[in-house]
Amino acid sequence: MLNYFIRRLLGAIPTLFTIIAVSFMLVHAAPGGPFDKERKVPASVEAKLIEKYHLDEPLPQQFARYIGDLMQGDFGPSFKYPDRSVSELIAAGFPTSLLLGSCAISLALLLGVFLGIWAALRQNSWIDYLCVGSAMLGIAIPNYVFAPLMTLVFGLLLGWLPVNGWGEPRHMVLPILALAIPQVAAITRLTRASMLEVLGSNFVRTARAKGLPEAVTLTRHAIRAAMLPVVSYLGPAVAYVVTGSVIIEEIFRIPGIGRYFVLGAINRDYTMVLGVTVVFGALIILCNLIADLCYGLLDPKVRYD
Partner 1 sequence: MTDVSLLAPQAEVKGRSLWADARRRFLGNTAAVVGLVVLIAITLLSFGQPYLGLRDPADINWDMISAPPDFAQGYYFGTDQNGRDLFVRTLQGGQVSLTVGFIATMVSLVIGTLWGASAGYLGGRVDAVMMRIVDILYSIPFVFLVILLTVVFGRNIELMYLAIGAVSWLDMARIVRGQTVSIRRKEFIEAAHASGVSNWRIITRHIIPNCLGPVVVYMTLTVPAVILTESFISYLGMGVQEPDSSWGTLISEGVKAMEVAPWAVLYPSLVMVVTLLALNFVGDGLRDALDPKDR
User: Where do contacts with partner 1 occur on this chain (CB under 8 A)?
Assistant: 14-15, 18-19, 22-23, 26-27, 29-31, 136-137, 139-142, 144-145, 148-149, 151-152, 156, 235, 239, 242-243, 246-247, 250-251, 261-262, 265-266, 268, 270, 273-274, 276-277, 280-281, 284-285, 288
Shortest Cβ 304–partner 1 spacing (Å): 18
Shortest Cβ 191–partner 1 spacing (Å): 17
Q: Which is nearer to partner 1, 6 or 136 (CB)?
A: 136
Shortest Cβ 297–partner 1 spacing (Å): 21
Task: Say if residue 162 is exposed, middle or buried (CB neighbours under 10 Å; 0-12, 13-18, 19+).
Answer: middle
Q: Which is nearer to partner 1, 121 or 239 (CB)?
A: 239
Phi, psi of 197 (to 5 degrees): -65, -45
Q: Which is nearer to partner 1, 130 or 239 (CB)?
A: 239
Compute the distance between CA of residue 262 and CA of residue 270 in angstroms, rounded to an integer. Answer: 11
Q: How far is CA 54 from CA 5, 36, 76, 262, in A?
A: 38, 16, 11, 26
Shortest Cβ 134–partner 1 spacing (Å): 12
Phi, psi of 35 (to 5 degrees): -105, 10
Q: Which is nearer to partner 1, 62 or 208 (CB)?
A: 62
Shortest Cβ 150–partner 1 spacing (Å): 11
Q: Which is nearer to partner 1, 95 or 133 (CB)?
A: 133
Strand, helix or coil for residue 74: coil
